[in-house]
Every structure is written in C-alpha cells, then in structure tokens.
Amino acid sequence: EIVLTQSPGSLSLSPGESATLSCRASRSLSNIYLAWYQQKPGQTPRLLIYGASSRATGIPDRFSGSGSETDFTLTISRLEPEDFAVYYCQQFGSSAYTFGQGTKLEIK
Amino acid sequence: QVHLVQSGAEVKRPGASVKISCKVSGYRLAEISMQWVRQAPGEGLEWMGGLHPENGKIVYAQKLQGRVTMTEDTSTDTAYMEVTSLTSEDTAFYYCVIGTYFFDPWGQGTLVTVSS
C-alpha cells in the first residue's frame, strides 16, 4: 500500500496570503493517480484537483496542483475566508486508494 | 449530472451488522465505478473498497477484508455496502462516491453509530 504523508499538519495564515500544502508518497506514482480534496466542517469532501494538476469543475484558478513521482503540492493563492478547511491528498495504486492524513488550514 | 442519495443514519449494537444503500440518479450504476469511503468523527478519510476502475472487480481494503460486502442492484441503480461484526471503531460517516482514479461526486453520507 502506498502511504501518503501530508505536511504541515496544520497551517495558520491570513486571508490574502498564499498556502503551500505538501503530499509525499511512499513510492513513485503516476500523476494521473493523485487528487486533492477540500473538506469543511459538517460537509462532504469536495474534489479540487485530479491528475495532480487539473482543476475540477467550478474550482477557482487560485487553486493549483503540481508535482510528480513522490512529491506533490497544492498551492492556494490569495486565500479567501471560505478556503479555511481541511485538505486531503489521495492516490490510486496497487488496486487500492489511500488518503493522506490531512492538513488543516486555519485563519490566523 | 450524477447524484447519489444514501440511506439514513443507523444506531447499532456491538456485534451487529449494518447495510447502507446508495441510490444513483442521472447515470446508470452499471456504467460507473462505485467506491465507499468512511470517516470517523474528527478523523481522516479511509477508503473501504469498491469497483476496480480497470478490471471491474470489487476490491476491499485489506483492513476490512472479511467484514465488508459491497453489492449492486443494477435494476434499481442502487449500491449497497454491508459491514458485519461492528465495534465502536466502526462509528463513522460512510460515503458512497463515484471513483475511477479520483472521487467525485460524493453521497451525502450516512452516520453509523455503534454503541451498547
């Protein structure tokens, strides 16, 4: 099973700043198998990025994904108040899906 | 547009079983790969199993092998997920979600509480 490790565990920033969230895989994976989700309290997760860098329908362009092999990044530029949430990366490999443990983005 | 509607909340005793349904609309169940994900209160997301996007076989997470069964009724476009031998560690929100290499859209979630 591929393990995904997200860092940092939590991040405190102010609206207008940029956030950089990391997701590291225990072994190399194809970009098409890496996705990012946002989850707000009491809500279901929402797909943000798939294929490591493609934005899902309706996702603002301040959200961007990058990376390859074992290191992937979600960047949120110009943070809006509604962006403060928990973010998860997810991969598919060896016939199983795994999620990272999440990064909590908090308002400073 | 695909829409998933799950059955309602359940409260179960330890050792019991629970079966959750997920009704698909806007698409035929036979044409999609259904996955199941759960989330314990305050915890992260855990994939439970689902239809392999490349070979069409049902695959279960190793941790849940032997306790979880996923079935589909294509005549009603409804997917089911049953978990047996419940313990307090199975208390969680359970989600059906359409997944190939990523998960979208998600059902609204079903809260299963295991308590004596």
Taking only the tens place, the pLDDT of each residue in A7-34 is: 999 999 999 999 999 999 999 998 889 9
Contacts of B107 in chain A (CB under 8 A): 44
Residues A83-99: what's their mean pLDDT? 95
* Chain Cα centroid distance, residue A60: 14
Comparing CB atoms, the residue among B47, B95, B104 nearest residue A56 is B104
Is B34 within 8 Å of B22 (Cβ atoms)?
yes
pLDDT in tens, B62-113: 999 999 999 999 999 999 999 999 999 999 999 999 988 999 999 999 999 9
When pLDDT is averaged across residues B3-9 and rounded to a whole number, the result is: 98
Query: Using the beta-carbon criterion (under 8 Å), do B52 and A101 form an inter-chain contact?
Result: no
Chain B nearest-CA distance from A8, in A, is 15
Collect all residues of chain B within an 8 Å Cβ-Cβ radius of residue A32.
101
CB pairs under 8 A between A and B: 55
pLDDT at A65: 98
